[in-house]
Structure 1
Amino acid sequence: MKTILLVPTGESVGLTSACLGLIYALECQGIKAGFLKPFSQETHSAADRTTALYRHLFNNETVEPISHAAVCRRLSQDENDELLEDAVRLHREIAKKHDLIIVEGLVPTSRDAFASELNADLAKALDAKVVIVSTADIRNPEATAEKIEAQVRNFGGASNDRTAGVLFMRTKGLPEDSAQVPVTIDPSLRLISDTAQFSAQLQKQNASIGSENFPVIGLVPFSNTLSVPRMSDLAAHISAHWINEGDAKQRRVLHSSLIASNIEHELHKFIAGELIISASDRIDVLLASSLASSNGIPLAGLVLTEHHQPNEHVLNFCQTAIKQGLPIIHTPLSTFETAQELANLSNEIPVDDTERAEQVTRFVSSHLNPEWITQLINGSYKPRLSPSAFRHELVQKSIAAKKRIVLPEGDEPRTIQAAAICQSRGIAQCILLAKPEAVVEVAKARGIELPYDLEIIDPDLIRDNYVAKMVELRKGKINELQAREQLQDTVVLGTMMLALDQVDGLVSGAVHTTANTVRPAFQLIKTAPEYSLVSSVFFMLLPDEVYVYGDCAINPDPTAVELAEIAIQSADSAKAFGIDPRIAMISYSTGTSGAGADVEKVAEATRIAQERRPDLLIDGPLQYDAASVESVGRSKAPDSKVAGRANVFIFPDLNTGNTTYKAVQRSADVVSVGPMLQGLNKPVNDLSRGALVDDIVFTIALTAIQSEQQSAK
């Protein structure tokens, strides 16, 4: 899936036209691109403008954006992650039918000061390449470069691999013949030499702008013909009412004239496409406009100003012009105020002006670099799974799995709240092991609304049912009395329910230690046939990508064989959650740069893992920076397919793994999901005792998906 996010440098840069033009250019090359505008900035209109125009022009369906009010509400409540997950959900809807999606970003305005930051977060959430859209003035490359620099800084700079290029719209200062090119889709009209010259000028200001890595993908001239509004677009802008609507939806305002002096000095202004602005008591102007229309001159229209209404007798005298479709409006504004307001009229295409939209779309398309489009379609693309996409996929997959998850710490407040959320959202069917009255009391005290179908089971009522079964499962190791005693622990009771297939998974650890949670699983669930040990992974939700860390919770000092198995388990876990694994076996040495028993263990583990699973990309030993930083990877391991782009990190021992995960989590303020246990016959997962409600929700979702994966096997 390829996603291109178009981000404007400011208002009135032609963002809608840029999106539609790029989609049309792709269609000309046989690619039917999807379109998404995740966040609306409309506050009054029911329909989003770009979304409606896309539907009409390309006869294609898309989703409605999240309303401006909802965006502001989410941000004010510090629910940025949830907002981005909503955007990912919309993106995934379109991705069902399209392999390439064009996304319209937010316009930075004084009202929406959050736009630039949210655009940067959106690019990461959708794993999108970014095209900056800006106006340009050929005569002032310094100011143009400054605008680009200010915006591209939000995405790591013009040399960052996320930035794909810049598209200049409404370009001024071009030679007169270039600026007046006709509306056409003829690619020979693309301004190749002008683009090259302007790129060279920009590179004097910033070497990256206009370079191969951040090219100018189009130089679209400002076109008077395509920037003109219809007469019907003016009325609301100047608080006017219609005296005669006539052909207002067809007539375009090519230029306007304010009539102030004697009419004999103004007659040369009464030409085709002219908007005549005059005080409403100027009977001579009304009559001159009527006469021009009767003589076949299609004026754009007539705007009558000031508070008093135009003379009815004169209007009746102008019936011929009115019948010929002359649009006439009246506004209470003064003549000067009217001219000022019209000068500030937006250049954006109105939602119902499809004729202009079609022309602009083709015009923009004809000025885009076709080589860049071809490279976009065919170029190598290394997808990343963003944290927002990971959370979205996690929830969607768990909803589809429809699994029963037992929560032994059933009266713990965070667990109760997480269970209520999972139950209400359909993430899992949760079973709380606790006294029902205790759960109700906690819910009441915390203001938690318990879903009607949330299961609460009193452990005292079911414990006896598992005594004989537990003795049988642990034959020769415990007797009936010992089993009854161990079943007092709700974690053991829940594990027995899982062992007997009465539930699909177990989540514990909010108040129990890891050993408390894991020991019963080792004893009653045991390892899966293909594995010899149980290990764990954390999903580390970094700003740009999701990393998998293993093993950070279970095995203190694995052997080379065990380390190889941990790598294979972790790779399979990554795949199960939509991550294409590139596995780095971490050491203090890269390749043969260092020696010693610890390095040799990692090297041997790498060899064993590669031998057992030749289908996986596995390399090691690699230092952490060589595995994760592209420039370091190229320097230290130039022939490696993993170095510099690893997303699964296998640590040589528990000391290294646990320390690294906590250091990254706390220092970089990274959300970590897990630990998720792997290698068991059935899914059991442990929580950190400091787990937040969201952590528990995601762990329940993980457990449900694990169960589904095991069922599929």
Structure 2
Amino acid sequence: MARSVYVTGIGRGDGRQVVELGLMELLSRRSDRVGVFRPLTHRSADDMVELLRSRYRIELAPGLLYGMDYEAAAALRAERGQDELVSVLVDRFRRVERHCEAVLVLGTDFADTNIPDELALNARLANEFGALVVAVVGGNRQNADTVAAEARNAERAYAGLGCNLLALVANRVPAAEREATLRQVEQACAVPAYVLPEDPALAAPTVAEVVAATGGTVLLGDADGLDRDVRGYVLGGAMLPHFLDALHPGALVVTPGDRADLLIGALAAHAAGSPALAGVLLTMGETPDPQVMDLAARLGAGTPVAVVPELSFATAQLLAPLEGRITATAPRKAESALGLFDLHVDVPALTARIELDRPQRITPMMFEHELIERARTPRLAQIVLAEGTEERILRAADVLVRRNVCHLTLLGSEPAIRRKLADLGLDLGLDLAADPKTDPRGEIGAEAAADPAAGSTDEPAQAARARVRVVDPTLDPRRERLAEVYAALRRHKGVTLDQALDTVVDVNHFGTMLVHQGLADGMVSGAVHSTASTLRPALEVIKTAPGAGLVSSVFFMCLPDRVLVYGDCAINPDPDAEQLADIAVQCARTAEEFGVPPRVALLSYSTGTSGHGADVDKVREAAAIVRRLRPDLPVEGPIQYDAAIEPAVAATKLPDSPVAGKATVFVFPDLNTGNNTYKAVQRSANALAIGPVLQGLRKPINDLSRGATVQDIVTTVAITAIQAHRQREAEARAPHEIGHEAGHEAGPEADHRTRATTVTG
């Protein structure tokens, strides 16, 4: 029987979609076969079901995910009674359950349902389904006393009807009331209770929702623009100077269609990046002249401009009650919802109460979700994104901040980044970003290693909200000091202070120096730079970690039913036996760190003792070195790829091997083989290739493919944050071995250690 969780409430307006999405994320991290079921629905395709179905790749037929519509349920109940209705819904639930390991059940919405005693029906369905119950109460515009009373009533009602309560959630509580509400709710309830504050990003409608609600027609704008959050309205009627003063970030301008001056003024302000607007709504059914629209299109590329038939006042009346919804067409809202849930709910404790064991098999989706979860713990890391003006980087930053994954430092010109954010309709909260002149990490020195804004190492991840700051290397007050440090580290190469001042302006060098000096925990680059440009500064100043002979890389190859580790496919062209062994040990360590049980196959064109020659002998020698270095590690080599991965082939070629047929870590003999193989598997098997993830550096620096997608960047940043946590843990365990200034290895012999390392473009 699948483990099921039933989400329900006691009335409408509780915003429980946040809780439903958060619980589905929780379930998907521990199971690769999750399902969703809506017993009763108002329409054939429910927004929340469709969002969960698409986001979590639920492959069941859409019709299976619904019980019946309310009208049919009312008719069945009237004709044959409540027991028959429940019996039919249970049968339909079982059809979903038999295909899944975990099912999320979405209770009725208490809105125009025509069902008497709706709470009792939800309780009975939960009991009949054998589901744990999460009860949600709404706290919108309520004080702590009222919300606590509602929570107590909800717990008593569902417990009194025999439900197995998993938790209680008070949602949409005013932010100022959250702490007081949490104290009172925890005192009032016997089950774990959580309080989620009202989030303006979730309450805000998107431009697309505004256009739909007002019967508008889109004149300009793209899909990304229509997905922008509307944070408020500015009714345009004043003259231009006063009108400009009223604009604010995320505002939707509502103005008569014949006010071309306000249309152009608003878009010009938006194009300047201050403030970034949601869009413009033209009333009275008036469309400006073609010349005006042509200028508007050039000023606000992608910014939505729509025309509505009503007058401004009537339009304002339509907009006043409008609230946003979490749907499959608003992915950014889903990210905000997940960030809010993870920030205020003790997910590990809730998971334990559901009794979901970690599965033996790790699917790509589970792997990606777990990366996000682990990146936040034990605190939010500070990660530098060197290419701060690149569109994909900014879109990834938006996701990372909404999901509360880590703090970010964007390198680049602040005006350029603001203009780009305005063009993309993104709001990263840069106005609230820390100023490097006053930021606790803005001073270089040993005392700058901790960021109070990010939380201490023993502070729970829920304690901080992710923030973003922009740093321009050409203007940053730390440039001169970073240049002095860089010049000292590279003096043996003849680098002068003047040369260093020019060098550290390069975003990859500047970001690497921030990491080196403890002003950031890690860096990600490579979306528009080559691997060599990203890695060279790291080899110059950060150097290899203790115990690592060289820097190498892995790709996490996410196949439909498992995650494999491939190395080295990006850095070292032709490692010798000792270097190959070093790569294998590092790959095994990386696999362990990211939850992949390491069974290492050192690949060759020959298996076992069947072949000889320099290439095979190199792999055989490397395998012997690995066994000596890590006698606990299951390793096989030389071995062919088919014998390493396919049990039937392994049974013939190496029947007694602990690795053959079930390898998880594949170490290639050279870069030519590795790079071509990972790309062949990626394209032919439609696998997700995450990487290259660099290993062997003292501090985490990671490279992106220049074809990296937004999701690739998000995943790489999460991996970098996890590496930063592990590096800090290692420093705490062995401070005498790790954490020395890189200047300790700044001599010629240090460069010799990494001279065999090259990079792919």
TM-score using structure 2 length: 0.49
Give the 5 Å matches for 1:591-602: 591-602=608-619
DSSP-derived class of the 1:656 partner: helix
Q: Which residue of the partner structure matches residue 402 of structure 1?
A: 380
Q: Which residue of the partner structure matches residue 471 of structure 2?
A: 457
Which of the residues 688, 703, 709 maps onto 2:705? 688
Q: Which residue of the partner structure matches residue 352 of structure 1?
A: 124
Establish whether residue 620 from structure 1 lines up as the match of residue 634 from structure 2.
Answer: no
Q: Structure 2: which amino acid aligns with 1:528?
A: A
Which of the residues 37, 41, 46 maps onto 1:41? 37
Give the 5 Å matches for 1:418-567: 418-452=396-430, 453-462=467-476, 463-477=479-493, 478-567=495-584
Q: Larger Rg: 1 or 2?
A: 1
State the Cα distance separating 1:595 from its structure 2 match: 1.3
Q: How many Å separate the matches in 1 of 2:73 and 2:490?
A: 84
Establish whether residue 393 from structure 1 lines up as the match of residue 370 from structure 2.
Answer: yes
Q: Which residue of the partner structure matches residue 599 of structure 2?
A: 582
Q: How many Å separate the matches in 1 of 2:641 and 2:66?
A: 35
Q: How many Å separate the matches in 2 of 1:4 and 1:644?
A: 30
Superposed CA deviations along residues 593-630 of structure 1, whole A, max 9, x for unmatched, are 11111001001100100111011111111100110111
Conservation of the 8 A alpha-carbon contact between 2:554 and 2:568:
yes
Q: How many Å separate the matches in 2 of 1:557 and 1:622?
A: 18
Q: How many Å separate the matches in 2 of 1:494 and 1:113?
A: 48
Q: How many Å separate the matches in 2 of 1:628 and 1:514?
A: 30
Q: 1:399 to 1:441 in 2, by over 3 A?
A: same
State the Cα distance separating 1:249 from its structure 2 match: 7.1
State the Cα distance separating 1:451 from its structure 2 match: 3.3
Q: How many Å separate the matches in 1 of 2:370 and 2:48?
A: 22
DSSP-derived class of the 1:564 partner: helix
Give the 5 Å matches for 1:7-406: 38-44=34-40, 69-73=47-51, 75=53, 80=54, 82-84=55-57, 108=61, 111-112=63-64, 236-238=74-76, 240=78, 352=124, 383-400=360-377, 401-406=379-384
Superposed CA deviations along residues 193-241 of structure 1, whole A, max 9, x for unmatched, are xxxxxxxxxxxxxxxxxxxxxxxxxxxxxxxxxxxxxxxxx99444638
Name which of structure 1's ranges 383-392 and 678-687 shifts more when overlaid on structure 2.
Answer: 383-392
Q: How many Å separate the matches in 1 of 2:679 and 2:510?
A: 31
Q: Structure 1: which amino acid aligns with 2:643?
A: A
Q: Structure 2: which amino acid aligns with 1:607?
A: A
State the Cα distance separating 1:83 from its structure 2 match: 1.6
Establish whether residue 640 from structure 1 lines up as the match of residue 657 from structure 2.
Answer: yes
Q: How many Å separate the matches in 2 of 1:594 and 1:449?
A: 60
Q: Structure 2: which amino acid aligns with 1:384?
A: R
DSSP-derived class of the 1:598 partner: helix
Q: Structure 1: which amino acid aligns with 2:124?
A: D
Conservation of the 8 A alpha-carbon contact between 1:39 and 1:71:
no
DSSP-derived class of the 1:533 partner: coil
Q: Which residue of the partner structure matches residue 703 of structure 1?
A: 720
Q: Which residue of the partner structure matches residue 307 of structure 1?
A: none
Superposed CA deviations along residues 456-507 of structure 1, whole A, max 9, x for unmatched, are 1111122223111111122322111221121121101111111111000010
Q: Structure 1: which amino acid aligns with 2:56?
A: L
Q: Structure 2: which amino acid aligns with 1:71?
A: V
Q: 1:241 to 1:39 in 2, by over 3 A?
A: same
State the Cα distance separating 1:448 from its structure 2 match: 2.3
Superposed CA deviations along residues 344-372 of structure 1, whole A, max 9, x for unmatched, are xxxxx9973899889xxxxxxxxxxxxxx
Conservation of the 8 A alpha-carbon contact between 1:420 and 1:454:
no
Name which of structure 1's ranges 684-693 and 453-462 shifts more when overlaid on structure 2.
Answer: 453-462
DSSP-derived class of the 2:690 partner: strand
Q: Structure 1: which amino acid aligns with 2:422?
A: K
DSSP-derived class of the 1:397 partner: helix
State the Cα distance separating 1:445 from its structure 2 match: 1.4
Q: Structure 2: which amino acid aligns with 1:83?
A: Y
Q: Which residue of the partner structure matches residue 606 of structure 1?
A: 623
Q: How many Å separate the matches in 1 of 2:32 and 2:362?
A: 19
Superposed CA deviations along residues 69-94 of structure 1, whole A, max 9, x for unmatched, are 3231355xxxx4x325xx9xxxxxxx
Q: 1:622 to 1:236 in 2, by over 3 A?
A: same
DSSP-derived class of the 1:538 partner: strand
Q: How many Å separate the matches in 2 of 1:665 and 1:35?
A: 24
Please list every run of 5 or more consecutive structure 1 residues that lacks an aligned counterpart in the other structure. 7-33, 47-66, 88-104, 116-233, 254-348, 359-380
Conservation of the 8 A alpha-carbon contact between 2:552 and 2:572:
yes
Q: State the percentage of identical aligned residues.
A: 44
Q: How many Å separate the matches in 1 of 2:66 and 2:581?
A: 46
What is the aligned residue count? 400
DSSP-derived class of the 1:476 partner: helix
Conservation of the 8 A alpha-carbon contact between 1:550 and 1:649:
yes
TM-score using structure 1 length: 0.52
Q: How many Å separate the matches in 2 of 1:454 and 1:665?
A: 33
Q: Which residue of the partner structure matches residue 681 of structure 2?
A: 664
Q: Structure 1: which amino acid aligns with 2:410?
A: L
Q: Structure 1: which amino acid aligns with 2:78?
A: A
Q: How many Å separate the matches in 2 of 1:451 and 1:416?
A: 12
Which of the residues 411, 420, 423 maps onto 2:389? 411
Q: 1:353 to 1:623 in 2, by over 3 A?
A: closer
Q: Which residue of the partner structure matches residue 207 of structure 1?
A: none
DSSP-derived class of the 1:461 partner: coil
Q: How many Å separate the matches in 2 of 1:635 and 1:451?
A: 60
Conservation of the 8 A alpha-carbon contact between 1:235 and 1:241:
no
Q: How many Å separate the matches in 2 of 1:36 and 1:527?
A: 37
Q: Structure 1: which amino acid aligns with 2:489?
A: L
Name which of structure 1's ranges 650-659 and 661-670 shifts more when overlaid on structure 2.
Answer: 661-670
DSSP-derived class of the 1:703 partner: helix
Superposed CA deviations along residues 289-332 of structure 1, whole A, max 9, x for unmatched, are xxxxxxxxxxxxxxxxxxxxxxxxxxxxxxxxxxxxxxxxxxxx
Conservation of the 8 A alpha-carbon contact between 2:410 and 2:471:
yes
Q: How many Å separate the matches in 1 of 2:416 and 2:125?
A: 62
Q: Structure 2: which amino acid aligns with 1:240?
A: A
Q: 1:44 to 1:432 in 2, by over 3 A?
A: same
Conservation of the 8 A alpha-carbon contact between 1:536 and 1:676:
yes
Q: Structure 2: which amino acid aligns with 1:460?
A: T
State the Cα distance separating 1:410 from its structure 2 match: 1.1
Q: 1:546 to 1:239 in 2, by over 3 A?
A: closer
Q: 1:39 to 1:357 in 2, by over 3 A?
A: closer
State the Cα distance separating 1:655 from its structure 2 match: 0.5
State the Cα distance separating 1:442 from its structure 2 match: 1.1
Conservation of the 8 A alpha-carbon contact between 2:389 and 2:412:
yes
State the Cα distance separating 1:4 from its structure 2 match: 6.9
Q: 1:455 to 1:639 in 2, by over 3 A?
A: same
State the Cα distance separating 1:114 from its structure 2 match: 12
